[in-house]
């Protein structure tokens, strides 16, 4: 029953969905007998309440402890039950089913190293991701302003492309001042050379309020 509820869409790197009760073999280590009950499930045999579970996010680390991505509690449970991941940090709350009791995972680590293709870091460019990469700081004047824009270092009208290497966070006044000029024409150069961001940027975007337990694992 547990397995049925979690199997769909929860696979990682081609793992087959959990499909039998045999996976309830009590493989979770490190259960510390926490008495906290918030998030404990109802009597329907599933873990937790769906809306609670769906709002929680779990940080997934590679076997090398590098942050990889963020997943749902459900997916994390599948990885744990299949012994594909170990729990590094538990959050508050306990998940219950008819036969099991698990502390709510907050940080997990894959048992086997997953080779991350270079391409995975070249994800879609969004304003939010550019601003996160640049620390929400204008790359021209250094101002930390709430309403930042993004600027093409080499303007599109001058042949600049919409790639990570050519887009930076810019406050509106710098963006306006720079206009259609090249950096050397107006002597406005980005403070940091723009590059494709690492996975941490996307992890921080996926979980706008980063849980405290994640911080030690995020560079």
Binding site for Zn ion (CB under 5 A): 138, 140-141, 143, 171, 174
Between CA 159 and CA 103 the distance in angstroms is 54
Whichever of 135 and 198 has its CB closer to Zn ion, that residue is 135
Whichever of 168 and 174 has its CB closer to Zn ion, that residue is 174
Whichever of 21 and 189 has its CB closer to Zn ion, that residue is 189
Distances (CA, A) of 181 to 150, 151, 162: 15, 11, 16
Q: How far is the CB of 170 from Zn ion (least distance, A)?
A: 6
Count the Cβ atoms, other than its own, within 10 Å of residue 167.
24
3-state SS, one letter per residue, for 123-157: CCCCHHHHHHHCCCCCCCCCCCCCCEEEEECCCHH
Whichever of 79 and 138 has its CB closer to Zn ion, that residue is 138
74 phi/psi in degrees, rounded to 5: -60, -45
Q: How far is the CB of 154 from Zn ion (least distance, A)?
A: 18
Q: How far is the CB of 134 from Zn ion (least distance, A)?
A: 11
Whichever of 90 and 139 has its CB closer to Zn ion, that residue is 139
Q: How far is the CB of 131 from Zn ion (least distance, A)?
A: 13
Q: How far is the CB of 171 from Zn ion (least distance, A)?
A: 3
CB 3 within 8 A of CB 24: yes
203 phi/psi in degrees, rounded to 5: -65, -45
Between CA 155 and CA 68 the distance in angstroms is 33
Exposure of 81 in the CB half-sphere (CA atoms within 13 A)? 31
């Amino acid at each position: 029953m547990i397995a049925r509820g979690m199997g769909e869409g929860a696979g990682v790197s081609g793992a087959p969905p959990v499909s039998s009760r045999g996976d309830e073999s009590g493989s979770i280590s490190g259960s510390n007998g926490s008495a906290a009950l918030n998030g404990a499930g109802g009597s329907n045999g599933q873990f937790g309440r769906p809306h609670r579970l769906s709002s929680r996010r779990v940080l997934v680390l590679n076997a090398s402890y590098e942050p990889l991505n963020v997943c749902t509690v459900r997916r994390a449970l599948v990885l744990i039950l299949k012994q594909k991941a170990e729990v590094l940090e538990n959050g508050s709350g306990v998940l219950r089913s008819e036969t099991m009791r698990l502390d709510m995972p907050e940080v997990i680590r894959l048992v086997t190293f997953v080779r991350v293709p270079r391409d995975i870091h070249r994800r879609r460019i969004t304003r939010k991701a550019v601003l996160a990469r640049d620390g929400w700081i204008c790359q021209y004047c250094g101002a930390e302003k709430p309403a930042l824009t993004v600027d093409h270092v080499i303007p599109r009208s001058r042949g600049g492309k919409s790639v990570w290497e050519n887009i930076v966070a810019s406050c509106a006044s710098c963006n306006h001042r720079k206009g259609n000029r090249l950096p050397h024409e107006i002597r406005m150069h980005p403070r940091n050379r723009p590059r494709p961001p690492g996975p941490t940027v996307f992890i921080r975007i996926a979980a706008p309020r980063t849980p405290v337990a994640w911080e030690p694992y995020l560079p």
